[in-house]
Structure formats: structure tokens, C-alpha cells
A and B are shown apart, each in its own frame.
Chain A
């Protein structure tokens, strides 16, 4: 059948969310069903790192029901993702195995940056107004339970993305500890968030003005879908009117607000806290317009799948966002753009020329590209400990769209470009959480990057125009240059050795003089 029924499951910290979609080339992506079940996985897990047995039973019960619902739509594929609560569970592998045994569902864990990327993808793919909105300087503000993510865009490209521990549930529980009337919330929220937001502004905003805010959240977005705040289109609001509206909320009783908005009373305070948070963010960004397109992680999961299956095509290039993000990190640590570009050209050239040999795909090519961009970021800290410093910078910087594993791969490739390669059997801490397959990706990409690096030893871009061919047991690198390449040739041996070790091919340089 031409239609595909797909289920997306989000095992969040406070809610289990599932959406069922119908997809086809003709009709695109259509939502069929949306079930949400409250379950507090976060509170205990954040505190103890474990999911208590009773919660586990509850989780299994709900997942079994979900699996039954999937059956009732004859779902052909599903993707279930666990987010922060599961991510922070120490014994997550056994938990996932137990869930698989009991419910038959395979659950994957995604990192914060992947999760945010999916959220962002959902908006981009689900809304026609997206590119138009992105023409002006825009921030995507993604508010989660534990943290928020602010991503800045300029001219359709991502400038920076930062995670701040200012999630709405985190703020709310702090406010509850203080035990004060909610009339004081505006002041308290401001005091709680101000320090982090102003650091963010100093580091990343400078004098930039961000006109548009795209808001992704669970509590304010439904309100914005229901009321008009100075804009014609649904879900849009003038920032000034929005701030006024949230401020007026403190004068009304919760049942009144609940009735007017048609929302559950339980959620009103969370809506209020979220609203105040958004106000503070808008003020610091100097935003003029807010757009709450709605949608959730499940949408992102579905759109990712639809994109992969070519049910959907987007004008927006998401890989460009990931690359742009890496470039910004490089810029922040004063990496040389020219040098990266040369390295990138050579490395990708080698990669493309030996597809049959390495068997790696598009995604690994992207990782290689990012590794070339970030290859020297550690220099900013130490010229001597370049490898370690680069590794640490990459490991502690979020690159939107990359999973934690992918980031670890990039960090290792960059490190081993400078330092001695460590072997899997050495059992080094660097390989913690890395499976054999990823290890091979690291060694393969490292071999290519080292080779490329060796060809541009002098940083003078002598090897910019090279032809690379696999011939028998050799990798022939033909270069058209009048320049003297004796240094490269001389130092080539050491790098070639590792390459041969990995690929069983001996790289040789042939110089054609014009």
C-alpha cells in the first residue's frame, strides 16, 4: 500500500506522548491520533538516577496500551525516544532491555541536541511560514521541563545554540519551595533567570537584535493558539502585547483563567511561569514578534522519518545548520577558516574517492566535514595540548543535530589527528559508550583526516587540486602544483602507515609538474 502508518513515541520526563501518522508521497504527513499519558519519571530519576519499581510497572502498563493502539492502526514502523529522564537513568541499558522484553517495544535514547534538532525540524517541515519568518534575525526558544534551548538564526542559518537550565518545571519547583503567593512570581522568576540570561546575552548576542522568537513549549503555545495578541494569524503575537497579557494574568483567579482559556486548572500555574519566562527572554532578545507554531517531539520524530522516506521535502537544508553550528564554534575559538576549507576539500575528496573501500555513508561524511572544521579549536587554549583541548571543547559544546555518540566520534577523530591513536582493546575512557562500529568509524575517519592533514602540513594549500584514485593496493594522490612538496613527501610516511593499517592501501603522492 502506498500509505505508511507510523507511530512516534516520546518518553518524556513527565508525560508519555504518542502520535500516529499516516504518510504518503501524495498526501504528505497526516496526524491520525495523539495520546498523552501523565507519568512522572523525572522527579525521582533526577534525584536518584533510578526508576523505582512502581514507576516501571506503570511505564510498562502504559507502553503495552500504546502498543495495542499501534496495532489498532496497523502501524508499520515506529520510533520511540527516551529523553532526559531516561537519559539520566544510570542503569538505562537494563531498563531498556526490560521494557523490550515486557512490551516488545525498542526504545532509543536521544541526546538533548538531537531532541532540540527534531523539535526544530518539526517546525521547519510543518510550517510554510518558516523560511519567511527566518529571513529576519530569529531565535528558536524551546522550553522543556528541565532546561531551555535558545538557538539564534541569522539569514536562515544557525548562529549559535545554547542550553540553559531554566526549564519550566525546574523553575516551578523552585518557586514552590519558596512558598509564596503567585503575585510575587514575576519578580522571583526575573531574579531566577536573569543571571543566566544576561550571561547568554553578553556571550552570544552582543549588540544583535533578535526580532522574531519561535516558541516551542507545552504550556504557552496552547494559550497563544486561543487568544489574539495584536496579530491576525493564529499562534502569532506581538511581544509587547504578550508581556502585557501575562502581567495581567496575576490579577485573575485560576478558575477564571482556566475557564476563559478552556485549559485544565492544574496547568494554569505552569502556563503562568512559562509565560513569565518567555517575557524575560523576549525582553533580553529585544524581540518584536512571537510565533508559537505548536507541535511536539513526536512531530519531529515523524518528520525525520518522513524526510528519510522522501514523503516530504524541505526547502531548508538541515545539514547546513549542523555545519553552520560547527563553523560558529570554530570561529569562537579562532580557528582558521581558510585552513579548514583546504583540509575539508582534501579530506572529503579522499572520502569520496574511496567509497567502495570504507563503506561509510552520508552521515559519516558530515562527521568528517565537522571534524575538519573543528580540527584546531583546542589551539585557543593550548598550542601544545592541542588534541586534548580540542577533544574537551567539542565534548562540552553542543552541536545541534548531532547525537552524543556522533559528537564523541568527532571529538575523537579530532584528537587522534594530533595525538597517538588509542586502540579499542586498550579500554581507554574515551571509548566509554562507544560500540565497535563507531570505533571503526573513528579509526577510518582519523586515517583520512591524518592523511589530509599531512598533505597540507605547511598550511599553504599546496594540495588543493588533487586527484585521488584507488589503484590496486595503492591510493594514488596526483597533485598539479609547481610548489615544492618535499616536506609533505618527507613527513608523509608516518601518516601513511596508519592509513595502510586501517585500509590496507598504501597512499602515494605523484606530482605532475605543469
Chain B
């Protein structure tokens, strides 16, 4: 049970809870986004990958607004004054964060204008800056495109006394205009049109001058806006974009039917309070005043943008043909898993011993195959799985439905509260139910974030349970981009625990005891604190003590305080934290034994792996949970030990290689700022590249005589 103060040591003269030792999580997150941006600026990053990174920082920021800034605003409105981990009130946080975001946006567009546009030009790509300055031929093409494809889907809206101000949807791009009635002396009116999301944001104008010209959709509309308001004169027109409060908060006690409630919330999300207004540089003052009055945004919530709004279009630009040579090819595609060859029975392979997979270097296919095989295997009695975020058209969902069809008992916990995926989740949750699966729509008051699959099979010598435990979602698309680890086992202890997990998720009482797994929110926090305290104890007794922990974020104050205490006791602590880190490294007497490293690379670091030296008999764990309050206290999470020596060696190799990474790694300095690792003449170590090469090597046929097939190599493999 969670109690407030777990800090119970007696030699406390140091206050490990001092606010000064902590970093605000929003500011820390912005630092993470800055690290992503730094990839876009990195000379070593191929040009089109730079576009991708910049696009990612933009979509990250959108979500940050919708959720984090929105919740800060909610707190301020509710009069909530409780300070955060670093002792800042919501008001203070919002001020600091807003300031930092303005800085960050400036940096984004600096990168775009000074770095990316010139580089694109050098490579023969030109983004049209001024839609008025097109050649006759080009203009003709663009306008025809407008008439044929764009015009039919536009809904122009004018505002006057009889027509109220229209709803401006969250995250949509719009064009606002001042119009004046023809032949009248009336005042100027506001008019607007939404840039349709059903038409591609970018359009390539047929090449005429040896340069590939790209024009943005809003520019095409602006060029032709007169056609939308025939009875008016257009005084001026500019694009703008609104960000709204979108954080879902569902009162489950009141929500009789969770599905309906979520659908309702999704609609409401479009109308949340406006918290950001982006306008193009040079935006008309009169037009702005109308928007500010209607949307009730404050001065500091207005972002004046020097360039196109909403940089996520760069992801589309990344996709245009012909620039393969400006993309990254140094990373190998997922390799097969040696222990799980496609031509062998997957259950038989698992019976031979536990298997640990490192995605995306090793393919996610075996996980899909695991569920698919189970669905049609006559020996399989039941399949149970938790699903958090799955891909559209997921083969896993299809397999589960098929399993139910084949008469297996299929139980699926579908987490409807997975942010921004609700719409998606509802659709296929209903589909599974129709197929005859037993679907649980999450747990009251808790998000189910654990990733676990259980297959019960009736074999010759009795019932055997196969378990898959993982750090990442059952999503075959993201499994190609996120780094995660997953383990297959049929050891009885894991099977019993997995059964107990699903019993708890079905509303039954907790088991008498757990064999291997530790479950949040009931036990995990205490377990993590215990493991850290134990390490401190070992250090005090002069025994080997070391912690290496890799995760996405760390901002739980009790856990960080425990790490400070362990550091002060002499435990060497190496953290590999991709995202938010509220811990400050290198504070004398507090955290001088702690280092924080962050890897932002080609793949999104997503696995959570923990190593505890434990006085010479080390323990390894993997988990679905970060060390954040929400993971440890408000979610169902699983931490599982890895005990097989070979599997441990593999986990250690992951941690060790990432600790040595000097290409994609940043290190936190004493000021809490992140700096790229100084290589000092050492060989470049790019951990993600190395893992890919190693995985490919493993599945290569040993000798040419074995396969008797020659494998041609292509230019792409060499990045030429």
C-alpha cells in the first residue's frame, strides 16, 4: 500500500527530498524535445532524416500542448496550488514552460529556415515561399488543381450578425480573412476556411526549371481565396492554427457505459479551451484582434511563426520519391529470431528454453506468429492478452478473433483509456466482442499498461502455459520503430503468475503469493524502492553495489530520493533515460555517483531494463513501467525478472553498449543540461546500429555451402 513517506533511514542529515535537487517534468520534457531537434541539426544526419526529426518535434509539441499545458491550465483554473516535484506552483510552471516553448519554436524555425531550406535547395527541392511569385505555367497548374480538387471540399464561412463565429477545430489549419462587401459601405467582416485534412498538405508542381517545386495546400487556397467569397473583396488573408485542451478526464463512477462516454469525450475534445494560437509572421493586426477576442487566448499564448504553420507536413515531404540517397540506410531491417525459425513449431521452440527478443533489431513477427499459431492450434484451450495500443488492421486482433471462432476461450483486456487511441480501440474492441471474445474494457480508475499474453495448451503430459512478457505494446507497426524487449517462457512459475494477473484483471482477488512477477499499482513501487535500498545497504557493508537502469522517464520523487540516498551511500548508478528525468546528476554529496544518459536516435528507445548488482549476485528485470507516479501508482504494470544466464548476458549487452554509445547519446551535466557525448578520438559507437548488425549476423547462414544461394548486395545497404 502506498504510504507517503518511505524514507525511513536513521542517518538522515541530508534532505534527499529538497526541491532544489529536482527538475520540473515539463521542462525536462522540453529538454527531450530539444534533443530530438538536435538530431535534426546534427551534421551526420542525412537531410531527409532531418526533416523527419523536425516533424517529430512538431507533433510532440502538439501533444504536449493538448495534454500537459492543458492540465497545467486546468490546475490553475481549479485553484490548485500544490507544488510539483521541484517546488513550483502550476502558475510558475506554466510561466516557465511557456517561455521555454517560445524559445523552442524559434529554434525549430531557425533550423527550418537556415538549415533545412538551403540544404533542400542545394538538392534541387524548393518550397514555394510566396505563392504570388509563380511562373505563369506553374500558376496555371496550381489554380487548375484548386478548381478541380480543392474547391469542392472547402466550406468557406463568413461571420456577421446573423452568423456566429464558427467552431475552429483542434490542431486544424485554417485561413482567416478580412472581407468587405462589394458595392457596399459596410464594415469589414471576418471570414475563414479550414484547410482540408483530406487533401495532401503538399503538392509538387510539375518540374520546368530543373528544380522540384513544392507548394503547400494553404498557399494554394490563399491564392484562390477570392473564388470562395465572390460577393466580397478580400482585404487580407493569413493561415492560423488553434491548439485546444484535450486531456480526457472521465468520471468512471458516472459513466454508465464507458464506450459511449469516451465517444462523447472525443467529440468534446474538439471544443476544449483554446490554449495556443499560431499565426504566420506578418499576420494582420485587425484579423488577430478578432481571433484573440473570440478564442480568448492570452498574449503569451500567441505564437508568431516565421514559416509554414504545423511542421508535421515535413513527414509527408520525407515520403516524396527520388531522395532515397538522402535517407538513413545504416540501420538494418529487423532480422529473424535465431531461436524461433519460421519453419519450426513456436511452442516447441519455447519449450527448449526461455527466449528474449530485442526489437526492432529482431523481428516482432514471432509475437504475431505466437498468437496466430495459438489461434489455430487444436491443443490450445485459451488465449489471454492485454492490449494497450495496437496498429490499425492488426494481425493480432485478427488472430484473436479467429481463435474465438475456433472455439478457444479468448479473454482480452482492451485499454480504452490509452490516450489518443480511443477511437481506434473502440472499433476493434467491438469487433472482438462480436467474434465471441471475452472483452474487458479496462479497470475502474486504473490504466492497464502491462503487456502480457498467456496461452494455455493441453499437452500430452498435462496443461502447459506459455507466456509472453514485454516492455512494448502489441503493435506490429511501432515494433519496427520502438526498441523493446520481450520474453517467451513456459516456466511454471511465470505461467502461474500470468494466470494470477489475468484473474486480478478479471476482478478476482489477489493470489496468495507471486512467484516472479511484481505488479503495479499494488506492489511495484515498494519493490523498486526495496531493490534500491538493498543496493544502498550493500554499499554500506562494503559489498559490490551498482544500479544500471534504462527507461523512458523518471520523475517519482520517492524513487529519486531513494536513488540519491543510494548514491550517497556509495552505489554507482547509471541511468539511461530517453525522456523526462527529474533527477539531477552530479550534485555533490547527493548524486555525484549518478550519471544520466539519454539516447535519441533512429529508433525510439522504449525498453525498460533494470540491473541490480546485489552484492555480487546480480538481478535483471524488464518492465512495462517507467519510474513515474502514474506508472507506479495509477496503472497496472508488470516487472519481470530475467533469470536464464544467456538471456541475462543479452540484457547486459544492451545496457553496456548503450552506456558506451558516443554517437546518439547525450549526457546530463551538473546544471541539468544535456550535452552530446565527447568522443575524444575514440571509435564511434552507435548502439542502435550495432544491435542491428549483430542481429543480422546471428541469422546469417554460417557457410555458403549451407544455403547454396548467392545473396546479391544492393546500393541501399551501403547508403550510397
Whether the pair A37, B462 counts as a contact (CB closer than 8 A) is no
Which residue in B463, B508, B513 is a CB contact (below 8 Å) of A32?
A: B463
Whether the pair A73, B456 counts as a contact (CB closer than 8 A) is yes
Whether the pair A259, B381 counts as a contact (CB closer than 8 A) is no
| Bitwise interface map of A from 1 to 35 toward B, beta carbon under 8 Å scored 1, else 0 | 10101000000000100000010100100101111
Q: Is A264 an interface residue (CB 8 A)?
A: yes
Whether the pair A73, B462 counts as a contact (CB closer than 8 A) is no
Whether the pair B512, A255 counts as a contact (CB closer than 8 A) is no
Whether the pair B462, A24 counts as a contact (CB closer than 8 A) is yes
Which residue in B3, B458, B508, B512 is a CB contact (below 8 Å) of A35?
A: B508
Instruction: For A22, list chain B residues within 8 Å (CB).
Output: 462-463
Q: Is B409 an interface residue (CB 8 A)?
A: yes
Knowing A30-B462, A71-B409, A72-B409, say if A265 contacts B1 (CB, 8 Å): yes
Whether the pair A68, B463 counts as a contact (CB closer than 8 A) is no
How many residues belonging to A are interface residues under a CB distance threshold of 8 Å?
Answer: 32
Q: Which of A98-130 contact B (CB under 8 A)?
A: none
Q: Is B526 an interface residue (CB 8 A)?
A: yes
Instruction: For B513, list chain A residues within 8 Å (CB).
Output: 225
Q: Is A74 an interface residue (CB 8 A)?
A: yes
Whether the pair A37, B508 counts as a contact (CB closer than 8 A) is yes
Whether the pair B462, A27 counts as a contact (CB closer than 8 A) is yes
Q: Is B347 an interface residue (CB 8 A)?
A: no
Instruction: For B458, list chain A residues within 8 Å (CB).
Output: 1, 5, 74
Least CB distance from A242 to B in Å reads 20
| Bitwise interface map of B from 447 to 488 toward A, beta carbon under 8 Å scored 1, else 0 | 000000000101011110000000000000000000000000
Whether the pair A38, B526 counts as a contact (CB closer than 8 A) is no
| Bitwise interface map of B from 277 to 299 toward A, beta carbon under 8 Å scored 1, else 0 | 00000000000000000000000
Q: Is A82 an interface residue (CB 8 A)?
A: no
Instruction: For A33, list chain B residues within 8 Å (CB).
Output: 499, 503
Least CB distance from B493 to A in Å reads 13
Whether the pair B463, A1 counts as a contact (CB closer than 8 A) is no
Q: Is B210 an interface residue (CB 8 A)?
A: no
Instruction: For A65, list chain B residues within 8 Å (CB).
Output: 506
Q: Is B209 an interface residue (CB 8 A)?
A: no
Q: Is the interface of A mostly helix, strand, loop or mixed?
A: mixed
C-alpha gap A71/B404 in the complex (Å): 13
Q: Who on chain A is nearest to B460 by CB?
A: A1
Q: Which of B205-261 contact A (CB under 8 A)?
A: none
Q: Who on chain A is nearest to B458 by CB?
A: A74
C-alpha gap A255/B460 in the complex (Å): 47
Q: Is B92 an interface residue (CB 8 A)?
A: no
| Bitwise interface map of A from 251 to 269 toward B, beta carbon under 8 Å scored 1, else 0 | 0000110110010110000
C-alpha gap A35/B500 in the complex (Å): 8
Q: Is B523 an interface residue (CB 8 A)?
A: yes
Given A32-B463, A34-B512, A35-B509, 4 additional A-B pairs, CB 8 A: A30-B462, A37-B508, A258-B1, A264-B510
C-alpha gap A254/B667 in the complex (Å): 44
Q: Which positions in B face A, CB cutoff 8 Å?
A: 1, 3, 381-382, 409, 438, 456, 458, 460-463, 499-500, 503, 506-513, 523, 526
C-alpha gap A36/B512 in the complex (Å): 10
Leading 4 A-B pairs by shortest Cβ distance: A72-B409, A72-B382, A36-B509, A35-B508
Which residue in B461, B500, B512 is a CB contact (below 8 Å) of A222?
A: B512
Instruction: For A73, list chain B residues within 8 Å (CB).
Output: 381-382, 456, 463
Instruction: For B381, list chain A residues within 8 Å (CB).
Output: 71-74
Instruction: For B3, list chain A residues within 8 Å (CB).
Output: 255-256, 259
Q: For A15, A225, A259, which residue has the most chain B Cβ atoms within 10 angstroms?
A: A259
Q: Who on chain B is nearest to A24 by CB?
A: B462
Least CB distance from A152 to B in Å reads 28
C-alpha gap A73/B3 in the complex (Å): 39
Q: Who on chain A is nearest to B523 by CB?
A: A262
Instruction: For B506, list chain A residues within 8 Å (CB).
Output: 35, 65
Q: Who on chain B is nearest to A3 by CB?
A: B462
Q: Is A294 an interface residue (CB 8 A)?
A: yes
A-B contact pairs, 20 of them (CB 8 A): A3-B463, A5-B458, A5-B463, A22-B462, A27-B462, A30-B462, A33-B499, A34-B503, A34-B511, A35-B503, A35-B509, A37-B509, A38-B509, A69-B409, A73-B381, A73-B382, A225-B513, A256-B3, A259-B526, A265-B1
Q: Who on chain B is nearest to A257 by CB?
A: B1
Q: Who on chain B is nearest to A23 by CB?
A: B462
Instruction: For B382, list chain A residues within 8 Å (CB).
Output: 72-73
C-alpha gap A71/B460 in the complex (Å): 18
C-alpha gap A24/B460 in the complex (Å): 12
Whether the pair A259, B462 counts as a contact (CB closer than 8 A) is no
Q: Who on chain B is nearest to A253 by CB?
A: B3
Q: Who on chain B is nearest to A296 by CB?
A: B512
Knowing A3-B462, A38-B509, say if A68 contacts B526 (CB, 8 Å): no
Least CB distance from B232 to A in Å reads 64
Least CB distance from B511 to A in Å reads 7
Instruction: For B526, list chain A residues within 8 Å (CB).
Output: 259
Knowing A22-B463, A24-B462, A72-B456, say if A36 contacts B508 (CB, 8 Å): yes
Instruction: For A24, list chain B residues within 8 Å (CB).
Output: 462
Whether the pair B509, A259 counts as a contact (CB closer than 8 A) is no
Whether the pair A3, B508 counts as a contact (CB closer than 8 A) is no
Instruction: For B460, list chain A residues within 8 Å (CB).
Output: 1
Which residue in A5, A37, A256 is a CB contact (below 8 Å) of B507?
A: A37
C-alpha gap A255/B511 in the complex (Å): 20
Least CB distance from B382 to A in Å reads 4
Instruction: For B511, list chain A residues within 8 Å (CB).
Output: 34
C-alpha gap A193/B75 in the complex (Å): 54
C-alpha gap A225/B514 in the complex (Å): 13
Which residue in A1, A69, A294 is a CB contact (below 8 Å) of B512?
A: A294
C-alpha gap A69/B382 in the complex (Å): 9
Least CB distance from B510 to A in Å reads 7
Instruction: For A265, list chain B residues within 8 Å (CB).
Output: 1
Whether the pair A68, B462 counts as a contact (CB closer than 8 A) is no
C-alpha gap A507/B513 in the complex (Å): 63
Whether the pair A255, B1 counts as a contact (CB closer than 8 A) is yes
C-alpha gap A222/B461 in the complex (Å): 31
Q: Who on chain B is nearest to A69 by CB?
A: B409
C-alpha gap A65/B511 in the complex (Å): 18
C-alpha gap A255/B6 in the complex (Å): 12
C-alpha gap A264/B503 in the complex (Å): 16
Q: For B462, B506, B509, which residue has the most chain A Cβ atoms within 10 angstroms?
A: B462
Whether the pair B1, A32 counts as a contact (CB closer than 8 A) is no
Least CB distance from A63 to B in Å reads 13
Least CB distance from B297 to A in Å reads 45
Instruction: For A35, list chain B residues within 8 Å (CB).
Output: 503, 506, 508-509
Q: Who on chain B is nearest to A65 by CB?
A: B506
Whether the pair A3, B461 counts as a contact (CB closer than 8 A) is yes
Whether the pair A32, B409 counts as a contact (CB closer than 8 A) is no
Instruction: For A262, list chain B residues within 8 Å (CB).
Output: 523
C-alpha gap A74/B526 in the complex (Å): 38
C-alpha gap A181/B526 in the complex (Å): 29
Q: Who on chain B is nearest to A15 by CB?
A: B509
Q: Who on chain A is nearest to B509 by CB?
A: A36
C-alpha gap A34/B504 in the complex (Å): 11
Least CB distance from B411 to A in Å reads 8
Whether the pair B499, A32 counts as a contact (CB closer than 8 A) is yes
Least CB distance from A394 to B in Å reads 39
Least CB distance from A327 to B in Å reads 38
Instruction: For B509, list chain A residues within 8 Å (CB).
Output: 15, 35-38
| Bitwise interface map of A from 222 to 234 toward B, beta carbon under 8 Å scored 1, else 0 | 1001000000000
C-alpha gap A65/B512 in the complex (Å): 21
Q: For A34, A38, A65, A222, which residue has the most chain B Cβ atoms within 10 angstroms?
A: A34
C-alpha gap A162/B3 in the complex (Å): 43
Q: For B1, B458, B512, which residue has the most chain A Cβ atoms within 10 angstroms?
A: B1
Instruction: For A222, list chain B residues within 8 Å (CB).
Output: 512
Instruction: For B463, list chain A residues within 8 Å (CB).
Output: 3, 5, 22, 32, 73
Q: For A15, A262, A294, which residue has the most chain B Cβ atoms within 10 angstroms?
A: A262
Q: Who on chain B is nearest to A20 by CB?
A: B463
Q: Who on chain B is nearest to A27 by CB?
A: B462
C-alpha gap A69/B506 in the complex (Å): 11
